[in-house]
Structure formats: C-alpha cells, structure tokens
C-alpha cells in the first residue's frame, strides 16, 4: 500500500492530483459547497475544456523547453476569421474552418521558424507575434467589415460538431478536449516522439546530436499550439454565433498556471499530459467552482496564487523523490561485491 | 602493441580561430585496445583537440586518418557514425529521463505497427541495464530509475556503456574523473580498463596525473596548443609529468624556492605570501 502511494507520488502529475483534492475539500468543508452540485456543474467543465485544448500544446512546448504566449491573440484571431469568412462574406463554413486553421498554421510556422533560426528566447518571439496578431486582427476586422464584432450563423452539422450544448449545458468542445488529451497523452508517453520531446527539454544540443530532428519537432509544436488556439476561437464563434476582436489574453496566464500546477517543469524535460489535464481541471474548479461556495468570488485569484505556489513546491519535492528513488528490494539485499 | 595500425590518427593538425592559433602541429595516434592519455592544464587546448577529434571543428591544416585513410568529418554526427563517441564530464545529459529512455534517445526500440507503434519500454530497460551491468556496475538494476538520481560514476559508466553498445570504436572521455570522489573515480577507471580490454581505442583527457598513470598506455602532454611530450607507460615519473603539465620548470622552481627558504629559516616552511609573485625573490 505504501509502495503504491509512493509510486504515484513519483509521477509528474502527483502535485496536481493533490491540489485538486485539496481545492475540492476546501470548497466543500469551508465554502459550504455541495459536492454533487459542484461535480455536476457545467460552468467549470466548459471553462476547463476551452482552456485545456490550449494548455496541452503549451505544456508540450514547455516540456521541450519553449514557451508560446501568442495563443492569447490567436483565440480571437480564430473566432474573427471564422466569423468574417462565414458570416460577413457568406462563404461556406467549411472554407471558414479551413481558413481559420490556416491562420493558426501560418502563425505557428512564423513562431517556430523564428525560434529555430534566431537565438531569441521563444517567450520574446511569441510576445512579439502576440502583440502583432492583436494589431492584425483589429485592423483587418475594421478594414474588411468596418466593425470589431461580427455575427455568423453556422449550418447544423458545424453546430453539431463544434458548437452544440450537450444536455443544454455542456459545450461539445469538452469531447474534443478529452479526445485531444487522450491522443496527445498516447503520443507523449507511449511513442518515440514523446521521448524526443523529453530529450529536447533536457538538453537540446545532445538531443540534436543523438539524431533527433529538433528543428522540425519545434516547428510542429508551435504549429500545434497555434492551431489549437484558433480551433478554440472557431468553436466559440460557432457556439455564440458571433465573434469579437478582444478577449483571449486571460488564456495566456491561465494556461501557464494550469501547466505548471500540472507538474510540468518550467525549464523543460519533465511533465505529463495527465498532469496538465488535472492542472486545468483544478484551475477551472477554483475560478468557476467558487460560485458554488459562500466564499466571495474575489478571493479566487488569491486561492489560485496560493495553490500555484504550493503545487510548485510539492512538484519540486516529488521530483526529488523520483530522482533519488531506488526500488526497495535492493536495499534488503547485501551489497554485491564490485567486480574487478 | 606498437605494430597495431592506428584507428584514429592526427597528422600535423593545426587549428586557428581567426588570428588565434589554438593547436600547433599536433600528431597523435590511438590504437585499438590502447588508452591514450591527453594531459594538460586548463587552457592548453584540450577541448579544442577533443572537438576536432569529435568532428565539431575542422582542422585548419593537417589531416585526420581513420584506419589509415584520410577522412573529413562533416559534423559531430558524421564522426559518431564512424564510431567516434565522446562522453562528457557529467555523463548523461538528460537527468530527468529514465535509464532506459535516455539510453535509447533517438533510436528507441518500438513494437506494434503504424500509428500504434509504441516505445518498447521493457526491452529498452532490459538492454540498458544489461549493457551497464556488463561493465561491472551491478548496482544499476532498474531501467526506470532517473539518470539524475545516479551517482557521478554510475552516470559516466552508463554513458560509456551506451557508446560501446552503439558500436563505438574510439571513446573520447572528457575529464571523466574530474568531478568524482576517490571511490567513484576508481569505478570509472575500471570501466576504462574494461573498454580497453574489449579492444576500443580510448582517448582519456584529464589533468589528474594519478588517474592517467593508472590506465594509460601512451601519454601526450599538451602545453599552449602544442604537444610538449609524447611518451609511453613507465618512461616518466609522476613528478616529471606534473612538472611538464605545469609548464616545464615552474614546479621545480617552486620546490627549490621552498627548500632555500627552509635552509635559511631553521627548517620552517615559508608563509604563503612569500611565494606569491616575482616579489618573493
């Protein structure tokens, strides 16, 4: 039993699972929240799904030693592209979807190419593309449509796939999120590509010398994160039948907090998709679940701050636990004589 | 042993970076089953020489031969492909990866097919653990342990075992014992001997003369980018080698100075400051 607990604690997601349990317990015991109502509520799950689809590729980038904050501008860029193409110009929704994802691919390529071609940290590069894309979205929207908010009506099949409310409350993007997490989790932990990512985060030069196509991997990751962000924007536009140029900036910090609470090492080389998933759920419960408690919602940021700090400290000690772990059975054996 | 052809040979290699000459007219040969110790103080050009051997730098003039044939390395991976492996001071560079995963970075064993071709963790762990145990490090028995949790000596051993497993013929060890305690260093030296016994050519870079003398067959002392001495095992004493590394006569000068002081001061050694700088005279 103790061994089972210890083997869970050594995993990257240990801190996030404990944070989740802690936050839920806190809300139930001190906030007077009803556990059943909290779990059944759609608000935090919707929030988590939108955030989670962005948080997963941000987490992958962090594992590989990079950072992407341009997602903040790409969510409104995605919803505006969909709305302008399908709503303002009346093009088929499939063209709008393709155009939206193409915007993601283009920005992701720019981020990736700049990162591998220059020695500028990707934080600065994506900060630049973040600000630049905000400008592009606003100017293009005003120039093309004369307004900063565009309406659209999506056909039923697009509504069904990207914008329906399951049971009248749960956004269909939740399904996309869970499926995306499952696929990425498989790739990261079960295939050789996952191993390459961890190696890149550990030491990029050694990884390249070992024959890993680090440049192609980096570009692919930036494209994945940019496309995921535009996908979230597109789903929101289809769901709400409209798009605005503002919004999305909160996603930057929210995604990074979710990823770090989820046990990903900020400097790369360590983390798990399950951890990012649970970190996102924890974050969503703190920021949305607080409405189900008697705690004033203005405290939620304080709770997130404290939780972030505690999760990072916990992750630190769990990582040490993993590093210096040796199986118990060896300790009981007499030490073997060293061979000559 | 002298009759064996050299696996790797440098002939009159010069290397300069712009106007700065770093290596002068270096000629060296490493044979199979032989340990060549490269000795030199900091800044003597050891790392430039290693990087030239490992394909990172191209010589400005002179040639590199493998098995008697002139070669030009297009880069470190080319040199690796030809069987030249470099192991750096801290061994494994991926501290947060498991032994099995870091052993097979870039060449992971897989099972299954198509999109379901998955990393074969069990096989990777088994091979990695066996490879390092064959080198006499029996304390490593679980391939899931993280590399960062191993001792410095175990990490070096893992890195050497990895190089040998992937077919290295020339092993370049860059100060493998510098950061290690006495016991850990002796582990690494034993592994160097094992690699030599298996017929690898080993280039052992160090400034610890004792470690070099334990495993070395052939020694080259590097001073300011040139080979100041080239000799075989047993031809020079430890004191002579230390003197050479420190730049010739300086150690002997220092000793003479201490002795002179002691003669005139009733056998007391001089206080440290007397020996500082030219003012001491």
Cβ–Cβ contact B112 with A under 8 A: no
pLDDT at site A296: 85
Q: Nearest by CB to A209, from B76, B95, B117: name it.
A: B76
- Please state the pTM of the whole predicted model: 0.84
Look up the CATH number of domain A14-325.
1.10.3470
Q: H or E segment at B12?
A: strand B6-17
With CB atoms and an 8 Å threshold, state whether B106 touches A207: yes
User: Residue ranges of chain B with pLDDT lower than 70?
Assistant: 1-3, 90-92, 246-256, 258, 269-281
With CB atoms and an 8 Å threshold, state whether A202 touches B136: no
Pair of tokens at residue A177: 């999120």
Q: How far is A190 from chain B (nearest CA, A)?
A: 5
Q: Cβ(A162)–Cβ(A235) under 8 Å?
A: yes
Name the residue ranges covered by the structural domains of chain A.
14-325
- Mean pLDDT, rounded, of chain A: 90
Q: How far is B44 from chain A (nearest CA, A)?
A: 25
Tell me, what's the ipTM? 0.81
Whether domain B6-248 has CATH 3.40.50.300: the reply is yes
With CB atoms and an 8 Å threshold, state whether A207 touches B145: no
Over the Cα atoms of chain B, what is R_g?
22
Which of A23, A8, A10, A9 is CA-nearest to residue A308?
Answer: A23
**CA dist list (Å): A123 to A61, A70, A79, A204, A248:** 11, 9, 24, 17, 17
Helix extents (H) in chain B: 46-53, 76-81, 99-103, 121-133, 152-165, 182-197, 209-215, 238-245, 250-264
pLDDT at site A333: 41
pLDDT at site B235: 81
Average pLDDT over residues A83-111: 96
Task: Check whether A331 has a pLDDT greater than 50.
Answer: no
How far apart are alpha carbons B167 and B255 in whole angstroms? 47
Q: Nearest by CB to A210, from B106, B141, B142: name it.
A: B106
Confidence of residue A136 (pLDDT cuts 50, 70, 90): very high
Cβ–Cβ contact B101 with A under 8 A: yes
With CB atoms and an 8 Å threshold, state whether B101 touches A195: yes
How far apart are alpha carbons B58 and B16 in whole angstroms? 10
pLDDT at site B1: 46
Contacts with B165 from chain A: Cβ below 8 Å = none
């Amino acid at each position: 039993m103790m061994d089972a607990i210890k083997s869970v604690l050594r995993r990257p997601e240990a801190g996030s699972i404990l944070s989740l349990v802690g936050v839920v317990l806190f809300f139930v015991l001190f906030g007077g929240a009803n556990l059943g109502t909290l779990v059944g509520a759609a608000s935090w799950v919707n929030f988590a799904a939108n955030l989670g689809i962005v948080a997963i590729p941000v987490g992958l980038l962090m594992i590989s030693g990079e950072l992407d904050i341009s997602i903040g501008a790409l969510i409104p860029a995605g919803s505006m592209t969909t709305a302008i193409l399908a709503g303002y110009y009346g093009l088929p929704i499939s063209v709008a979807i393709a155009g939206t994802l193409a915007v993601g691919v283009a920005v992701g390529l720019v981020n990736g190419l700049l990162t591998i071609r220059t020695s500028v940290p990707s934080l600065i590069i994506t900060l630049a593309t973040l600000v630049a894309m905000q400008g592009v979205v606003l100017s293009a929207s005003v120039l093309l449509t004369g307004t900063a908010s565009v309406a659209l009506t999506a056909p039923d099949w697009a509504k069904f796939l990207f914008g329906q409310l399951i049971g009248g409350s749960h956004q269909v993007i939740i399904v996309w999120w869970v499926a995306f997490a499952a696929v990425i989790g498989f790739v990261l932990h079960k295939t050789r590509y996952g191993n390459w990512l961890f190696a890149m985060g550990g030491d990029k030069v050694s990884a390249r010398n070992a024959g890993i196509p680090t440049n192609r991997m980096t570009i692919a990751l930036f494209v994945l994160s940019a496309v995921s962000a535009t996908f979230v924007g597109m789903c929101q536009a289809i769901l709400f039948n409209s798009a605005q140029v503002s919004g999305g900036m909160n996603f930057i910090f929210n995604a990074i907090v979710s990823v770090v609470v989820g046990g990903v090492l900020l400097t790369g080389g360590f983390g798990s998709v399950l951890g990012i998933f649970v970190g996102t759920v924890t974050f969503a419960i703190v920021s949305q679940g607080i409405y189900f408690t008697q705690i004033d919602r203005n405290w939620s940021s304080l709770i997130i701050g404290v939780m972030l700090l505690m999760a990072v400290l916990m992750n630190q000690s769990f990582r040490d636990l993993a590093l210096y772990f040796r199986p118990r059975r060896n300790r009981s054996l007499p030490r073997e004589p060293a061979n000559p | 042993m002298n009759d064996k052809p050299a696996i790797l040979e440098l002939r009159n290699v010069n290397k300069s970076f712009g106007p700065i000459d770093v290596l002068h007219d270096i000629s060296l040969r490493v044979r199979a089953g032989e340990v060549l110790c490269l000795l030199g103080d900091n800044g003597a050009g050891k790392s430039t020489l290693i990087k030239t051997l490992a394909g990172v730098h191209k010589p400005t003039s002179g040639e590199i031969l493998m098995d008697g044939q002139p070669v030009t390395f297009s880069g470190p991976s080319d040199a690796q492909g030809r069987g030249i492996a470099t192991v750096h001071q801290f061994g494994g560079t991926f501290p947060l990866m498991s032994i099995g995963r870091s052993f097979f970075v870039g060449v992971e064993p897989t099972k299954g097919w198509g999109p379901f071709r998955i990393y074969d963790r069990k096989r990777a762990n088994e091979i990695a653990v066996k490879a390092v145990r064959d080198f006499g490090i029996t304390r490593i028995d679980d391939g899931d342990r993280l590399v960062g949790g191993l001792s410095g000596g175990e990490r070096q051993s893992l890195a050497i075992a990895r190089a040998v497993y992937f077919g290295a013929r020339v092993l370049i060890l860059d100060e493998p014992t510098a950061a290690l305690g006495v016991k850990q260093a002796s582990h690494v030296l034993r592994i160097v001997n094992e690699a030599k016994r298996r017929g690898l050519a080993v280039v052992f870079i160090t400034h610890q003369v004792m470690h070099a003398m334990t495993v070395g067959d052939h020694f080259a002392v590097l001073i300011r980018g040139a080979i100041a001495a080239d000799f075989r095992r047993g031809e020079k004493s430890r004191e002579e080698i230390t003197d050479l590394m420190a730049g010739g006569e300086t150690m002997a000068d220092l000793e003479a100075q201490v002795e002179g002081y002691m003669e005139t001061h009733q056998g007391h050694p001089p206080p440290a400051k007397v020996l500082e700088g030219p003012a001491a005279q």
